[in-house]
Amino acid sequence: MSQADYKEITFLGLWKNNPALVQLLGLCPLLAMSGSVVNSLGMGIATTFVLLTSNIAVSLVRNVVSDAVRLPAFVMIIAAAVTAIQILMQAYTYSLYEILGVFLPLITTNCVILGRADAFASKNGILPSAYDGLMMGIGFTLVMVILGFFRELLGTGVVFADMNLLLGDIADNWEWHVFKDYPQFLYIVLPPGAFIFTGFMIALKNKIDNHFEEIAKAQKAQEPKEDRRVRVTGKIS
Amino acid sequence: MALLNITSPHAHNKNHTAWVMQQVLLATIPGVAALTYFFGAGTLINIIWCVTTALICEWIMLKWRGKPVAFYLKDYSAIVTAVLLAIALPPYCPWWVSLIGIMFAIMIAKHLYGGLGYNPFNPAMVAYVILLISLPVQMTQWAAPLGADGASWIGFKAAFLNNFGFAPIIDAHTMATVLDVMKQNDSLTNNQLFEEYSQFGHFGGLGWEWVNLGFLMGGLYLLSRKIFTWHTPISMLAALALVSLIGYNAGGSDSGGSPFFHLFSGATMLGAFFIATDPVSSAVSRKGRIAFGACIGVLVYIIRVYGNYPDAVAFSVLLMNFAAPFIDHYTQPRTYGYNK
């Protein structure tokens, strides 16, 4: 695999084919668990870990497993990875494990992971597969953390609350009260807020894409200068 | 010069939307007057503040979307949304509560869905429900009606200073609304409730009876000007009356309240004539409108008596807005010359 491919994979995972904003996969944890930065980060890291390990394992067995049984086999691999991260989180970040609750085992059914296993890892070598899993996971985590940041900020007026659940004692004093006397804005704390903010993020991403597309188009249009026909049917405003 | 893409029919009454909206505004006057008489000047302050912010939000969104600003600002639709929201809000809620409501109503519920004529939900009710869910403390503090124990009329200055956070009204005490009391009650009969609590009036809530009569008058005026057909409001009120009659149980302690109580308490009349009749978000065919209204009536009773929130008009209308396309699908009128 050449260097350019890795660049492409990075770009696809983080932006162009972002699992949360473009593929719209894994919406269930995205909407339910993005109420605060710590939940988002925990969920994102768990998902990234599962993506990474399952992509590696799927890529390893890709020539052994026959096409007919590939999906059940992949699901078994993913379930094993999920069980591992679940037990790990139970051991090291027990309170976060309690908060994430059923959404941890549900990573098994997260379509991002099965999608990457089937679309990428089962067709590529180990290194690119691992890298793809990592990038997709980071793309998903980034969206979740941004979503969690804004929902926590506008919903409760505090950010980075309870970060010590995930990061240990160093994060004890990270809690940042942005607004004084902020009443809890329940609409944003509850899942409907996640829908609205995800919508805004998708809109913003599309806006940015359109902007760059227009710039590219404008550059292309400027190149051939021999066409001198005057436009007569313009928009009157 | 602004050229608008207008599809057929091209024969039109110039600025018809604006005329309709003006009539609706006119028709809210008796209800608003009753609200002001019983609950003080807070409603008027809210209306002024909401209309101002709504026009600013509308202006921002129209500019942003590249629409002709003056043309759309002159159709009064933003003002109607603002007035309806202001009427629904508690009279003494802080300024930022109404501001958030207006921003949600105009920017998200109206313009993000495509502007006037495209919104699947009634913007004022979307904003009201979002506020009610998000800020239950601020949104459930209704002032005591004039005539109840310890209530006094709150003037313009006091209302203004309170709503904008300069000087909270200390002696203005809030009271559970009658719908709230009726829902919480499980030991007193209806007659005992009316004797025990001073916010109960003759057959509905004190003051609320007059507010609802005011909106009923306004609604009948709109009906006489043919702003909307009778189907939605009448079927909604009839369904509500019928269901509450079934649940009345002769006014015992497990009674849900008499039909009169439900028709003349809370936002019933406002909802029936001003909210459910929204031409954009309600069902279209006549049969469909009857079903639409009747379902709202039934839902209002169910949510009022069994739900978590004291009043239910906003929730019911929004739920039925969801169902409106479905209702329209099954109530398409027969095309002339064809069998069904």
| A49: number of Cβ within 10 Å | 20
The percentage of residues in chain B with a pLDDT greater than 90, rounded to a whole number, is 39
Domain of residue B295, residue span: 184-325
Mean pLDDT of B79-107: 92
Could you tell me if A154 lies within 8 Å of chain B, comparing CB atoms?
Answer: no
Stretch 195-224 of chain A: residues touching chain B, C-beta under 8 Å: 196
B66: closest chain A residue by CA: A237
Q: Which residues of chain A have pLDDT under 70?
A: 1-4, 224-237
For residue B324, pLDDT over 80 is answered with yes
The verdict on B316 and B206 lying in the same domain is yes
Q: Are residues B44 and B192 in the same domain?
A: no
Which residues, 6+ apart, have CB-to-CB distance to A129 below 8 Å?
A55, A56, A58, A59, A120, A121
Q: What is the mean pLDDT of residues B297-308?
A: 89
pLDDT average, residue stretch B252-274: 85
- CA–CA dist A172, A234 (Å, integer): 61
In whole angstroms, give the CA distance from residue B96 to residue B134: 13
Torsion sign across C-alpha atoms B104, B109, B110, B114: positive
Percent of chain B scoring above 70 in pLDDT? 93
- Partner-chain contact A183 B130, CB within 8 Å: no
Closest by Cβ to B130, choosing from A183, A184, A187: A187
Residue of B nearest to A185 (CA): B134
Q: Which range has the top average pLDDT, A160-169, B13-22, B287-296, B327-336?
A: B287-296
Instruction: Give the angle A6-A12-A13 at the CA atoms, nearest 5°.
Output: 90
Rounded to an integer, what is the distance from CA B131 to the centroid of its chain?
Answer: 14
Specify the length of chain A in residues. Answer: 237
Are B200 and B178 in contact, with CB atoms under 8 Å apart?
A: yes
Predicted confidence at residue A232, as pLDDT, reads: 60
ipTM of predicted assembly, 2 dp: 0.73
| B81 and B198 assigned to the same domain | no
Q: Is B92 helix (H, G, I), strand (E, B) or coil?
A: coil
**Same domain for B161 and B194?**
no
Among the three residues B176, B198, B213, which one is the final residue of a domain in this structure? B176
CB contact under 8 A, A186 and B135: yes
Is residue B92 one of the residues assigned to a domain? yes
The average pLDDT across B72-101 equals: 90
Q: Residue B173: is its pLDDT beyond 60?
A: yes
Q: Report yes or no on B5 lying in a domain.
A: no
Residue type at B292 in one-letter notation: F
Residue B182: CB partners within 8 Å, gap ≥ 6? B193, B256, B257, B261
**What is the enclosing helix (H) or strand (E) of A158?**
strand A158-159
Range B276-293 average pLDDT: 89
Q: What is the Cα–Cα distance from A46 to A110, expressed in whole angstroms?
A: 12
Residue A237 pLDDT: 55
User: HSE of A107 in the Cβ direction (CA atoms, 13 Å)?
Assistant: 29
Q: Are residues B109 and B230 in the same domain?
A: no
Number of domains observed in the structure of chain B: 2
Q: In a 10 Å sphere around its CB, with 0-12 CB exposed, 13-18 middle and 19+ buried, how is residue B20 labelled?
A: buried
Q: Residue B138: what pLDDT?
A: 81
Indicate if the alpha-carbon torsion angle A33, A36, A42, A45 is positive or negative: positive
Rg (CA), chain B: 20
Rounded to 5 degrees, φ, ψ at B174 are -95, 160
DSSP track, A72-125: HHHHHHHHHHHHHHHHHHHHH-HHHHHHHGGGTGGGGG-HHHHHHIIIIITTS-
pLDDT of residue B105 exceeding 90: yes
pLDDT at position B259 is 86
- Please determine, for residue B71, whether its predicted confidence score (pLDDT) is greater than 90: no
Cβ burial, residue B244 (10 Å; 0-12/13-18/19+): buried
Beta carbons of A187 and B2 less than 8 Å apart = no
Is the residue at B60 inside a domain?
A: yes
B286 phi/psi in degrees, rounded to 5:
-65, -45
The reply to whether B33 and B164 lie within a common domain is: yes
Considering B124, B153, B176, which residue would you say is the last residue of a domain? B176
Confidence of residue B106 (pLDDT cuts 50, 70, 90): very high
Q: Which residues of B touch A236 (CB under 8 A)?
A: 1, 3
All residues of chain B having their beta carbon less than 8 Å from the beta carbon of residue A190 are 133
Residue with tokens 């159709």: B75
CA B200 to chain centre: 21
Contacts of A89 (CB under 8 A, 6+ apart): A42, A46, A96, A97, A100, A104
Which of B176, B194, B210 finishes a domain? B176
Q: What number of C-beta contacts closer than 8 Å exist between A and B?
A: 19
DSSP assignment letter at B335:
P
Among chain B residues, CA nearest to A190: B134
Calpha distance A162→A156 (Å, rounded): 13
Domain coordinates in residue numbering, chain A: 3-207
State whether B197 and B124 are in the same domain: no
Residue B4 lies in a domain: no
Q: Bigger pLDDT: B163 or B224?
A: B224
> Is it the case that residue B291 has pLDDT exceeding 90?
yes
Residue B301 lies in a domain: yes
pLDDT at B256 over 80: no
**B170 and B49 belong to one structural domain:** yes
Domain identity same for B188 and B140: no
Bond prior to B333 in cis (omega within 30° of 0): no
From chain B, pick out residues whose CB is under 8 angstroms from the CB of A183: 135, 137-138
Asked if A155 and A188 touch (Cβ cutoff 8 Å), the reply is yes
